[in-house]
Amino acid sequence: MSNKIKKAIISISDKSEIKLILNTLKKYKVNIISSGGTSKEIKKLGYKCTDVSEYTKTDEILDGRVKTLHPKLYAGILSKRDNKVHKKELKKNNYDAIDLVIVNFYPFEETLKITKNQNKLIENIDIGGPTLVRAGAKNFKYTTVLTSPHQYKEFILNLEKNKGSTSLEFRKKLSQEAFNSTAYYDSVISEYLNNMNDDHFPQKKTIHGNLVEVLRYGENPHQKSAIYSKNNNLDISQLSGKKLSYNNYNDIYAALNISQTLPKNNGTVIVKHANPCGVSVNKNKIESYKEALACDPISAFGGIVSCNFKVNKKIALEFNKIFLEVIIGLGFDEDSLKILKKRKNLRLIDASKLGEQNSKNITSHFDSLLLQSTDNKIFTKDNFKVVSKIKPTKKILDNLLFAFNVCRNVKSNAIVLTRNSSTVGIGSGQPSRLDSCKIAIEKMKRFQKISENDIIIGASDAFFPFVDGIETLVQNGVSAIIQPSGSIRDKEIIKFADRLGVILVFSKTRHFKH
């Protein structure tokens, strides 16, 4: 069922492409009602329109807060054109049907990015706009509603195809997009108010996002997938390489989570299947990469490298020696791009504009949402306590904290072994902590040359429930261990460490990652 468009109401903040619409409406002799800045812009461009206040015979009041909230407008939008009672009531009140609603909202989200002034933000909460859109979207059987300049070209094509009318299928699609638009708009405002009231888990929760792209597939080819962002774009940009997959994004964010915790402009992270397989914070960029790679060069094959610094020519040449899926840098110089872009499939990601981590993590299962705050706690000395008789030097303590920081980004149960602020063995994702110890040790023995003078440090993401884990680590060269406290056997663990002459540091916080 097509619907002839005779009268339209236009009230927009985003006036881009408006001339395109006005040309088309003029062609099909559509009468336009408009208000405020939109009315001025339409007249400025040389087109005719009737001001809302003139149409409703009611002035705008309350500094423009009330201008489109009038029954003449809503009756025109919401009336059923084939309903005799509706037609009679419109005629009785001298109201006309309104067939087209073109509205976008006050820029609340954009204003939120540039100011924290509550008064300015409140005044950018649109009331009339969403109400007009919801009315038009509800009555899609008769009314066409546009909420974005991106819809204009398709609207014009549909209008021309139907000789001044729009098709029912098209109006249904626009209705869906309209309610998505109002829901998104309200969710941004509700999140602002939740944060303002420090209410992180409100009774009703809405989550908003803009589609960045539909991905080729999810974790496996039979799964569908897409990536959304709270902004219109991601804070990372792809400079080269084939399209990113679901797994690529998952690995990229896992790598960036670690990189952001490393010293500024320092450190290399290598990730495979969302788990780190090598991390180093050597100030020498080449050595940092080589040390991270040496932790587990087999797992690194086909992995993701995240550099917490700008990528240059020298390190780009090192990257070219093995197969990598993705390279992340805080920018790339021209020489490095020339080298790396020769591999057409290699994805290059610039993370130089990446902001802070999200304050919330979201997981969905069986139509339920699990929300939690992000584990991005900044480590301070107050969070740790040396419980062994032997005390660590400052260098050893710094290495213990490095190992513990890496460990919190490894899937549980997690064990990380380090030497001189570089990982030498990582055991991850095991139901048994002891098994994770054995895997980390096996990796270390397989890929590292350990001398008697090396100080090997072990980190665990949660406490050792029994002494067997610590015993296994010490028997294989570990001389300093950091772990969370909280076991009923903490005292037994401390005595055991003292008996073996091992440095033992307790953390007050646990860092499971599932």
Angle at 442 between CA 439 and CA 445, to 5 degrees: 150
Angle at 148 between CA 142 and CA 151, to 5 degrees: 65
Distances (CA, A) of 389 to 214, 382, 481, 505: 57, 19, 13, 10
Contact between 387 and 365 (Cβ < 8 Å): no
In single-letter form, the type of residue at position 439 comes to I
Among 300, 301, 302, 280, residue whose Cα is nearest residue 291 = 280
- How far apart, in whole angstroms, are the C-alpha atoms of residue 141 and residue 167? 9
- How far apart, in whole angstroms, are the C-alpha atoms of residue 236 and residue 350? 6
| CA dihedral (449, 451, 454, 456) positive or negative | positive
Angle at 26 between CA 20 and CA 30, to 5 degrees: 115
Strands 347-350 and 237-240, bridge-based pairing: antiparallel
DSSP single-letter state for residue 61: B
Contact between 374 and 361 (Cβ < 8 Å): yes
In single-letter form, the type of residue at position 151 comes to Q
Kindly report each contact of residues 273-280 with a partner whose C-beta sits within 8 Å and lies 24 or more positions away, as own/partner: 273/247, 274/250, 274/411, 275/410, 275/411, 275/426, 275/428, 275/429, 276/406, 276/409, 276/410, 276/423, 276/426, 277/303, 277/426, 278/422, 278/423, 278/426, 279/406, 279/422, 279/423, 280/421, 280/422, 280/423
Residue 316 burial (10 A CB sphere; 0-12, 13-18, 19+) = buried
Q: How many residues does the chain have?
A: 514
- How far apart, in whole angstroms, are the C-alpha atoms of residue 135 and residue 145? 9
| CA dihedral (336, 337, 338, 341) positive or negative | positive
DSSP single-letter state for residue 353: T
* Residues that are catalytic: 138, 273
- How far apart, in whole angstroms, are the C-alpha atoms of residue 293 and residue 201? 41
Residue 450 burial (10 A CB sphere; 0-12, 13-18, 19+) = middle
The partner residues of 66 in beta bridges, in order of sequence, read: 61
- How far apart, in whole angstroms, are the C-alpha atoms of residue 48 and residue 64? 22
